[in-house]
Structure 1
Amino acid sequence: MNQNNTRITCSLHFSLRETMQNLLSEKPSLSVFFESCRTVRRQDRKRKLSFPGQKKIPVEWPGDRYYITTESSKAEALAAEIYEKVGLDIPGHGSLLMQDISVYEGRNEENPAEEFKACKHQMSQITAILSLPKAGDQLAAIALDYGLGVPVVSLGEGTGLRDSLGLLRITIPPQKEIVHLVVSRYDSDNILKILIEHGDIDRPGGGFVYTTPVCSAHLDNKMVIGRQAHSASIDQMIAAIDELKGDTGWRKRSLEVKKGRVRFTRKQKEITVYCPEGSAGNIADCAMNAGAKGATLSRVQHLAQGEKSGNTAAWERVVALVPEKISDSITDKIFQYGIENPGKVLTIETLEVQAAFSHA
């Protein structure tokens, strides 16, 4: 059966690692994984020789991205404590978002799970899995130029879709850059189209991109670093208006998008599996044999609770996007693999996908 839980995703500056891990290791009944990431910001510098205008230089800050699964009834209190302890009110410290998920524990036809009631979301998370070299930097620069927020970039390895490209796969490396960006739900489709067209995702081998619903979030609006020309930065003004309005709907704007070029796939599910190091390839094969077109693998660390509180171990994370109509059969296959191979699968999570796009 499925249990309704909440996933808290927190992207923090690397200097906050000890504070965050000390906080989480004291909490019982949490599933905590984290991976290395980087946030991309912009620094505006004056041009040399007194030339007019400013030069926009991308600046990368190292960080950690945490995936925390907890009971939905405890999620808001935990998020509030994280916000306070790591100082998310300070620009540049990081961001936090909450998503309603289902944790899969096998189907039981005699005792089905209660109907899942998703919260009303005001935001969406865009996830772009990119294949071409430096594509992550390119997409991050586009996001900053449009003022969409601070992109978070992590690394992964793709399997499945690359094999369907024929001879073109020779030019497409298996290594992927994964760009995460949280935006207003009112603009998510238009922003997705902008990123697809300007980021060359609509070309063969360009990768794929999708959006998932976010219940609530605290965003890091420190897009530009360096000396401020005014008493309040644009980032601080955006945060203040968000608080006054109570949501991000006021940010809706008209974006320049070519009509008719991009068509989204709907009715998809994101399946996420956490497993010990060395098991991800077999789980990806299991998912693809059951109908998934591909999967993205990434290395994560598991933060232990209980007697081994604070210890970390090398694990892997498998993410696959699948049609909603076959998501149950795929999770059944992965669950069965876990039964036949004890200790190889820890958690299976599913999440609604609002829109997805891939050239393949």
Structure 2
Amino acid sequence: MALVIVETGKGSKVLEIAREAGVQSGTIFLGKGTASRNIIDRLGLSDRRKELVIMIAETEIATKAMDNISRIFKFEKPNHGIGYMEDVSNVWGTTSCTVGYRDLDEGDEDVFNAIYTIVNRGLADEVIDAAQGAGSMGGTVIHARGSGIAERQKVFSITIEPEKEIVMILSPREKTDGIVNAIREKMKIDEPGKGIIYVTNVAKTYGILRE
């Protein structure tokens, strides 16, 4: 699975480039970057509105698409956007790709995790504060939207009510446990109804600079 975060209005261009590389479909979500001001020059995540583009394709096609997107959008430059790829074990609802899972080797360099925290609307800033206190460089907030109380969205196979927020944080693997524990403690995640956290392995990143 390939994910790209760019300024609002550029998601369609991302999908256009991806389709040229063989990706058959993708989804654009609206979000907001939350990087602290002192690292905006290093990350493509500011306080401005963002679009999150999610695409699923075979590894070879997804890699080609991400390489092209990174080159055209100049992800190597600050504030031009970021992208990353996650391992997907199974895919349902599409016949356009077959995806195999691989474990990340302990010796892999620059390995990141993606931390997803789902909380009630209005609490995303508290999640970000807790994460930054544990060493996070920032994240992206996705607002689940619906026109009626019965309408729901599904993100990563999890049903999200319209009043929820999803906080996405990219974390170097060595910082992940500390960030997750900080969020769990501040948000009381282990109590019923307080939220959900899940963590995935990131196979490759674009536009992320290590300190």
The TM-score with structure 1 as length reference comes to 0.46
CA-CA distance at 1:164 after TM superposition: 2.4
CA separation in 2, counterparts of 1:206 and 1:325? 26
Which of 307, 318, 337 is the matching residue for 2:186? 337
What is the percentage of aligned positions where both structures have the same residue? 19
Aligned to 2:118: 274
Query: Superposition pairs for residues 252-331 of structure 1, below 5 Å?
Result: 266-300=110-144, 312=161, 314-331=163-180
CA separation in 2, counterparts of 1:340 and 1:186? 37
Q: More deviation in 139-148 or 333-342?
A: 333-342
CA separation in 2, counterparts of 1:328 and 1:283? 15
SS in 2 for 1:216: coil
CA separation in 2, counterparts of 1:359 and 1:278? 27
- What is the CA deviation profile of residues 123-180 of structure 1, one whole-angstrom value per residue up to 9, with x for unaligned ones? xx0000112x4221211111122332112111100011665236xx9xx661001111
SS in 1 for 2:135: coil
Letter in 2 for 1:299: H
- What is the CA deviation profile of residues 256-294 of structure 1, one whole-angstrom value per residue up to 9, with x for unaligned ones? xxxxxxxxx731111111111110011111101111111
Aligned to 2:198: 349
User: How many residues are aligned here?
Assistant: 188
Aligned to 2:154: none
Say if 1:162 and 1:174, in contact at 8 Å, map to a contact too. no
Matched, 1:206 2:80: yes
- Where does structure 2 lack aligned partners over 5 or more consecutive residues? 101-108, 152-158
With over 3 angstroms needed to count, the CA separation of the structure-2 counterparts of 1:342 and 1:216, relative to structure 1, is closer
- What is the CA deviation profile of residues 299-325 of structure 1, one whole-angstrom value per residue up to 9, with x for unaligned ones? 126979xxxxx9x55111111000101
CA-CA distance at 1:205 after TM superposition: 0.8
Aligned to 1:129: 5
Matched, 1:186 2:30: no
CA-CA distance at 1:199 after TM superposition: 3.1
With over 3 angstroms needed to count, the CA separation of the structure-2 counterparts of 1:220 and 1:341, relative to structure 1, is closer
CA-CA distance at 1:344 after TM superposition: 8.0
SS in 2 for 1:155: strand
Aligned to 2:18: 143
CA-CA distance at 1:187 after TM superposition: 4.2
SS in 1 for 2:143: strand
Say if 2:5 and 2:81, in contact at 8 Å, map to a contact too. yes
Letter in 1 for 2:122: G
Determine which structure has the larger helix proportion and give its number.
1
Query: Superposition pairs for residues 107-256 of structure 1, below 5 Å?
Result: 125-131=1-7, 133-160=8-35, 163-165=38-40, 174-218=48-92, 220=94, 247=98
SS in 1 for 2:117: strand
Say if 1:157 and 1:297, in contact at 8 Å, map to a contact too. yes
RMSD: 3.3
- What is the CA deviation profile of residues 18-75 of structure 1, one whole-angstrom value per residue up to 9, with x for unaligned ones? xxxxxxxxxxxxxxxxxxxxxxxxxxxxxxxxxxxxxxxxxxxxxxxxxxxxxxxxxx
Letter in 1 for 2:169: A
Letter in 1 for 2:203: Q
Letter in 1 for 2:31: G
CA separation in 1, counterparts of 2:22 and 2:63? 16
Higher RCO (C-alpha 8 Å, min separation 6)? 2
- Where does structure 1 lack aligned partners over 5 or more consecutive residues? 1-124, 222-238, 250-264, 305-309
- What is the CA deviation profile of residues 330-357 of structure 1, one whole-angstrom value per residue up to 9, with x for unaligned ones? 1111111123997784111111111112
CA separation in 2, counterparts of 1:344 and 1:248? 33
Determine which structure has the larger strand proportion and give its number.
1
